Amino acid sequence: MKKTVTRLADGRELLYFDADEGSVRDAVDRRPLDPVRSASEVRHDPLLGEDVAIASHRQGRIYHPPADSCPLCPSTPDWQSEIPAPEYEVAVFENRFPSLSGANGRCEVVCFTSDHGASFAGLTEERAALVLDAWTDRTAELSARAGVQQVYCFENRGAEIGVTLAHPHGQIYAFPYVAPRTATMLRNAVAHRAATGRNLFEDVLERERAGERVVLAGEHWTAFVPYAARWPYEVHLHPHRRVGDLTGLGEEARAEFPGLYLELLRRFDRIFGTDEPPTPYIAAWHQAPVAGADREEFALHLELFTVRRASGKLKYLAGTESGMGAFMNDVSPESAADRLREVASS
């Protein structure tokens, strides 16, 4: 893998990731861009003990542009995008409309392919492996930045999720605080260690691997629908050897991941039948905080879920979920696992 680092016209960083070590990336961004001025801040909620990012400048971000003016497509003589090259494999750049910026963190956009009409599920295993390399590289580099406490790689797909750009892409957030979900899992893991002497994530994985909700398993990874799934179709993908973040994965686990993950995404697209639009989903890498005495109790895992609960029906976060954080699932985890096994590739 070759990484090439350059700058956009307004000074933001742009990185190319190529499988070929001989790749040359020397295109220059010639757009007359003004410097980015973002004013994100982090405020603390004393009742919940959680931090909230305030980023009012994002109201002006690009919203559902036509395909011929997509900012994530390669540049052409008629359209200058965020990526000045005529083609690319995987590209990462600083978000022009970041939720977190400056001393309050950093936000990056990850473009999985230059093909506007593609999806992650349609990538080759080689390209998916290159994306994994990019996620790992950014996790390592962003974790080393002053003030960063956690790195979060994720993909939102589908208008139902709230995606404003159709081009296949994900994002990476470098948080200046530990995200609430992570803090809760870590507290529970510490309490479990104190009560049992064992690691909570390892116990959960062992129990799920022996149960009826396993969807897909390899030598180094297992995907399962969790016992208390919150979403209609929700799968957690864990490496068998516990590591805190992507940088800790061994070569065998890294080699097996692309095939398993692509199969999982393709099954998601078949849940509701071929007549339905592509399944909207969120794919979220849960990684340990950058530092802290208890970070060793955390376990890297990927969470994949959809807000579609049935053909033509969405799972809305209504009164109980949005108001109280109390989830009510309309699909039993066991039937969801059955369905995800039924739609396996032949």
Dihedral of CA 189/194/196/197: which sign?
positive
Each residue of 271-298: pLDDT tens digit? 998 778 899 999 999 999 999 989 999 9
Is residue 70 within 8 Å of 81, Cβ to Cβ? yes
The pLDDT assigned to 35 comes to: 86
Is residue 236 among the annotated active site residues? Answer: no
Dihedral of CA 89/255/182/290: which sign?
negative
Each residue of 241-252: pLDDT tens digit? 999 999 999 999
What length is written for the chain? Answer: 346
Instruction: Measure the CA–CA gap between 294 and 297, rounded to whole angstroms.
Output: 6
Q: List the binding residues.
A: 70, 73, 116, 167
Each residue of 177-187: pLDDT tens digit? 999 999 999 99
Environment class of residue 316 by beta-carbon count within 10 Å: exposed (0-12), middle (13-18) or buried (19+)? exposed
Instruction: State the catalytic residue, choosing from 44, 57, 64, 169.
Output: 169
Q: Which domains, ranges and CATH numbers included, belong to the chain?
A: 2-32+56-175 (3.30.428.10), 180-342 (3.30.428.10)
pTM of the model: 0.96
Q: List the binding residues for Zn(2+).
A: 70, 73, 116, 167
Each residue of 100-144: pLDDT tens digit? 998 899 999 999 999 999 999 999 999 999 999 999 999 999 999
Parallel, antiparallel or unpaired: strands 233-239 and 281-286: unpaired
